[in-house]
Amino acid sequence: MPKLLITGGAGFIGANFVLYWRRLYPDDLIVVLDALTYAGNRADLDAMQGE
Amino acid sequence: MQAIICRFGTIFGASPGMRFHTAVNKFCWQAVMRQPLTIWRTAYDQKRPYLELGDAVRAITHIIERDLFDGTIYNVLTLNATVRDLMEVIGKLLPDINLSFVDSPIMNQLSYEVSAQRFIDRGFTFTGDLQRGIGETVALLKTANRG
């Protein structure tokens, strides 16, 4: 199974990339590493909750 | 280490989690909230590269899928546009926008137009659209502003 580490994956561009990749490759394992400072927001990944 | 360097244009576009720190989205926010849009007069016709959010996401995907870590620098942008261009698009959606011009000199007097041809030559097609991106952002903000 391909594994991706996405830094900044809760940010404006990062979260959209995570959601886009998830649609394309739902079987891939995605790990998001985000400092959650000024731009990162966990809620931007709400669509993936429970996965 | 294999790497690629992407010089992204200024990002714009609607998203579940919005950001308003860059020019287009900030102007949309101010316009919907009926705040004056502050513009440096000398910068009004300066061109800058902009990148639609969907193009940004697809560009990253394009690189990973093709293992395009070739040590090259790529400009990644949807279009070059002036602030005047942005105002014309926003003004069509919100005709009563209030522009507030500032006559102070600005540090960066350059107008620059960037080519994404090198990235296009790697098989990428930009599909973002300024009018559509601004339209979606304004529509999203209007919905939020009703609350």
Give the contacts of B72 (CB within 8 A, at least 6 positions apart). B4, B5, B118
One pLDDT digit (tens) per residue for chain B, 147 residues: 899 999 999 999 988 777 787 889 999 999 999 999 999 888 899 999 999 999 999 999 999 999 999 999 999 999 999 999 999 999 999 988 989 999 887 777 788 999 999 999 999 999 999 999 999 999 998 887 665
Contacts of B54 in chain A (CB under 8 A): 16
- What does the alpha-carbon distance between residue B55 and residue B82 come to, in Å, rounded to a whole number? 19
Q: Are the Cβ atoms of A20 and B56 closer than 8 angstroms? A: no
Q: Which residues pair with B39 in a beta bridge?
A: B101
Smallest CA–CA distance, residue B54 to chain A, in Å, is: 8
User: Which residue in the set A20, A21, A39 is minimally distant from B19, CB to CB?
Assistant: A39
- Contact (CB<8Å) B61/A39: no
SS3 A6: strand
Q: How many domains in chain A?
A: 1
The whole-angstrom separation of Cα A43 and Cα B56 is 20
Could you tell me the residue ranges of all domains in chain B? 5-145
- DSSP percent split of chain B into helix, strand, coil, nearest 5: 40, 20, 40
How far does CA B89 lie from the centroid of its chain? Answer: 12
The dihedrals phi and psi of B112, each to the nearest 5 degrees, come to -135, 140
* Closest approach of B47 to chain A, Cα-based (Å): 23
Residue ranges making up the domain that contains A27: 3-44
Give the other-Cβ count within 10 Å of B122's Cβ.
Answer: 16
Q: Which residue has the tokens 């209007």?
A: B142
A13-48: per-residue pLDDT in tens? 999 999 999 999 999 999 999 999 877 888 888 887
- Are A15 and A45 within 8 A, CB to CB? yes
Confirm if B74 and B118 have CB atoms less than 8 A apart: yes
Q: Please report the number of interchain residue pairs, chain A to chain B, with beta-carbon separation below 8 angstroms.
A: 39
Looking at residue B123, the DSSP 8-state letter turns out to be T
Q: What is the pLDDT of residue B20?
A: 81
Contact B112, B9 (CB under 8 A): no
Q: Give the separation between CA B129 and CA B124, rounded to whole angstroms.
A: 15
Task: Please give the pLDDT value at position B19.
Answer: 79
* B12 class by beta-carbon count within 10 Å (0-12 exposed, 13-18 middle, 19+ buried): buried
What ipTM was reported for this prediction? 0.91
Q: What is the CATH number of domain B5-145?
A: 3.40.50.720
Q: For residue A1, is pLDDT > 90?
A: no
User: Do B116 and B85 touch, CB atoms closer than 8 A?
Assistant: no
Residue B34 near chain A (CB below 8 Å): no
Residue A51 lies in a domain: no
Q: Give yes or no for A41 touching B (CB within 8 A).
A: yes
Q: Which amino acid, B102?
A: V
Q: What is the pLDDT of residue B146?
A: 61
